[in-house]
Amino acid sequence: MASVLVAGGATGIGRAVVQAFRQRGDSVLLADRNLTAAREVAEEAAPGPLRILECDFATADGPGDAVRAAVDFGGGLDVVFYNAGVLLAAPLAEWTVAQWDLSMQVNLRAPFLVAQAAAPHLEKSPLGRLIFTSSTGALRGHAGMPAYHASKAGLINLARALADELSPHGVRVNCICPGWVDTPFNDAFWNHQSSPAEALKELESRIPLRRQAQPEDIAGLVMFLAAPESGYITGESIVIDGGYSAV
């Protein structure tokens, strides 16, 4: 049984990953600022134990608090999945410093602080996995979302730097890069479109699989990267987007 920290696990991809780890029998610490949704996850029956922590990853202390809680709950730490994120959209002229800073705090600073706090524990684990949620948005751009794209691109190179430093100590560090996933997380993007329904229809026509992903589609990749079978993969950013960026 592994000890797992899922940062940002109350909804969407994070929730699906929490469910997958628990079904495997792992011990999961779910850290999220959405306490109501986290409690709903806690009510779901599963073999693996779960503890929830109300945590704001925009703060300087939140990342370390989450790591300490996971170590206390699991008696150590084997896997960290950092999935918390902020997606804001606005015309360039309307962006504020506060919006930019919030995006960087949650999307880039917090995963660094989580890694810094978790590394000594992951190095003691025979598994030792650190997985970040980046995005195909790190590889392309969309109008109105400069902070999201910049921070997710930075996260890919953060993972590369950490892989170089931590892999010799047995810790594999990787990013997943989901494409379009059908969760409320993307509402800011759709609300920024002149016609959300038409924009969605046009988008799905350009995805070879002709649909957005469901959170469970993404969870399978996370579980593979958290498994012994992925032991020779580190420093990578793996796209999972239904073929969207391939054509």
With 80 as the cut, is the pLDDT of residue 106 above it? yes
CA angle 162, 168, 174 (to 5 degrees): 40
Max Cα–Cα distance, the chain, nearest Å? 51
Tell me the average pLDDT across 224-229.
98
Domain ranges (residues) in the chain: 3-242
Two tokens at 42? 């806690």
Report the pLDDT value the prediction gives residue 195, as an integer from 0 to 100.
79
Two tokens at 46? 């599963």
Q: Which band of pLDDT confidence, cut at 50, 70 and 90, is reported for residue 108?
A: very high
Report the pLDDT value the prediction gives residue 192, as an integer from 0 to 100.
66
Two tokens at 161? 């730097």
Q: What is the pTM of this model?
A: 0.94
Dist CA 152 CA 163 (whole Å): 17
Report the pLDDT value the prediction gives residue 188, as an integer from 0 to 100.
66
Dist CA 118 CA 210 (whole Å): 39
With 80 as the cut, is the pLDDT of residue 150 above it? yes
Strands in 50-54's sheet, in edge-to-edge order, are 50-54, 27-32, 3-7, 79-82, 129-133, 172-178, 237-240
Q: Which residues are catalytic?
A: 148
What is the phi-psi region of residue 232: left when phi exceeds 0, alpha when psi lies from -120 to 50, beta otherwise?
alpha
3-242 has which fold? Rossmann fold (3.40.50)
Quickly list H helices, 43-93. 62-74
Tell me the average pLDDT across 1-12.
96
Q: What's the pLDDT tens digit per position in 169-222?
A: 999 999 999 998 988 777 766 676 777 788 788 888 999 999 999 999 999 999
Q: Which band of pLDDT confidence, cut at 50, 70 and 90, is reported for residue 116?
A: very high
Report the pLDDT value the prediction gives residue 194, as an integer from 0 to 100.
73
Mean pLDDT, the chain, whole residue set:
95
Dist CA 199 CA 149 (whole Å): 19
Q: What's the pLDDT tens digit per position in 12-68?
A: 999 999 999 999 999 999 999 999 999 999 999 999 999 999 999 999 999 999 999
Dist CA 238 CA 25 (whole Å): 26
